[in-house]
Copies of this chain bind each other. A is one copy, B any other.
């Protein structure tokens, strides 16, 4: 696993106050919107759900194409968006790359949205 594969490009785990409790800055709004856009897609939400539910909470593209009903290039494209957004890590082992959730990444997004 290379260092770049361990470090997401966007640090979505750097947590902020809920946006309904504290005025969100223009800069933080840009960052949060970028992360939300990455997950605001039905196929990518299902990928997140599938990877989390998979054995050892990781999966390769080979595990995901059939249940998702999409071709490998399309699935790889969605996976890349999730890696670039700091939601998934990518670990190349042998023939396949394995994807898993970055701990805390989705919780950080949720933390911005809670109001209570």
Contacts and interface: CB of A to CB of B under 8 A. Distances in A.
A52 B20 contact: yes
Given A106-B114, A115-B101, A42 B49 contact: no
**Chain A contact residues: helix, strand, loop or mixed:** helix
- A33, A36, A109: most-surrounded residue (chain B CB, <10 A): A36
Number of copies: 2
Query: Which one of A24, A39, A106, A113 has the greatest number of beta carbons of chain B within 10 Å?
Result: A113
A77 interface: no
Given A20-B52, A114-B110, A115-B106, A40 B45 contact: no
Interface string A8-50: 0000000000011111101001101100110111111110111
